[in-house]
Chains A and B, each alone.
Chain A
């Protein structure tokens, strides 16, 4: 028989009808004989009902419908940018910096049957690293100070990325991070009040293989567009666009709160000085 502590832990899922049948039965049996847990159940049930009643929101104001319809005008399904012709031409031009998203190996978790972490896992990690908003370990406006701070910390040389003059990209700080099982350097930027995160990590050899297999990339939902004269490869996940570029065996992955058009433009015009 379950004890009260275990039952109470499951009560919330019980009132939501989300327990699996066998556990549900166990909880039910317990509730039949235990007044305290039955009281706790009543209380949770009452709370649940009351939250619904209390949080009734007013309907959307009438002008919102028109506003939304107006905003949707001129946007095509599957077209993740505006104006729409910018992204519709895809040319395969090898740029000096190759922008990629590919298969990476070498991690202790989420390993698929082939022993590989999928590109999606990597992208998810990058998005998570952006979302976690952990404070910078080194807060500085000077990228050079951060790159020397990283020396001997991540196992590769961290370089700064040079962005175009417009829009203004401000470096704000950096911290150690991780992508898959790889050590990574995480750099924070501000772009017009939006946060931009750059995660750098060593690209394992299979990345190069993935590159030569364009069908493989397509299968993983990788998009390629030509922006400002350069081909950009990116992934989208949870509404985030994650462009990745590779240079000298290091992957530079970006995630930001800025809109997709601006982000792709920014990445396409970024330079990694040597």
Chain B
């Protein structure tokens, strides 16, 4: 027994017209997430079906693209997490407190072309491979920010986390990307490993000096509060 005739409602029509505009965007995003055309197609279909079901909860006037991407991202996390686990071995790469020490001058120069405006082509070629090595959470924010050009607020909505997390994840993700690219540059002989090592030691010294400073500042405050 059906209670309603299966006619296409106005809202449904509206959804089809509005949402299907983003088919390419969603497919591209799904492809980047799943890295398999057939998985991407499944994911996109799933996204549209879910989005249609929940379309009554979509606030008119808000960003439909971001909303669809959020549904897709959730769908991806649910369905493909198992596959993602394979990549979690590389998680440690960025779990380290990256981003505290800064990349040295030599390291940065090795990434850029002589005018220091664009990435050196041999380095740029390696971006996709480097991105693939990032943990899924980090890859996702880079893609949403740089390729989909969403704002931090929109990214936070898509992946369901605070804006501060988006900010720190992006910082770490880009930092990790740069490090991977520097490694690549070093393997091509664009920068000498010895120079990089020297820079690292220098950075580490600065870091520990900074840490000492913080400690002494804490001591100073303690003394003051006693006095």
B-contact 0/1 string along A124-157, CB 8 Å cutoff: 0000000101000000000000000000000000
B-contact 0/1 string along A32-49, CB 8 Å cutoff: 000010011011101111
Q: Cα distance A60–B31 when bound, in Å? A: 10
Given known pairs A18-B152, A52-B147, A61-B41, the reply for A46 and B56 (CB within 8 Å) is no
Name the distance in Å between A15's Cβ and chain B's nearest Cβ. Answer: 9
Q: Is B105 within 8 A of A78, CB to CB?
A: no
A-contact 0/1 string along B106-118, CB 8 Å cutoff: 0011011000111
Q: Is A75 within 8 A of B53, CB to CB?
A: yes
Question: How many of B's residues come within 8 Å of A, CB to CB?
Answer: 75
A-contact 0/1 string along B168-180, CB 8 Å cutoff: 0011001101100
Tell me, yes or no, whether A167 is within 8 Å of chain B by CB.
Answer: no
Contact partner of A257 among B11, B78, B105, B171, CB < 8 A? B78
Q: Is the interface of A mostly helix, strand, loop or mixed?
A: helix
Q: Cα distance A72–B9 when bound, in Å? A: 12
Q: Which of A76, A77, A81 neighbours the largest number of chain B CB atoms within 10 Å of its CB?
A: A77
Contact partner of A51 among B23, B70, B100, B147, CB < 8 A? B147
Which partner residue on chain A sits nearest B102 by CB separation?
A: A8
Q: Is A50 within 8 A of B119, CB to CB?
A: yes
Which partner residue on chain A sits nearest B3 by CB separation?
A: A85
Tell me, yes or no, whether B193 is within 8 Å of chain A by CB.
Answer: no
| Interface-lining segment among A63-71, A94-102, A209-217 | A63-71
Interface residue ranges, A against B (CB under 8 Å)? 4-5, 8-9, 11-13, 16, 18, 36, 39-40, 42-44, 46-55, 57-61, 64-65, 67-69, 71-72, 74-81, 83-85, 88, 131, 133, 236, 238-240, 257
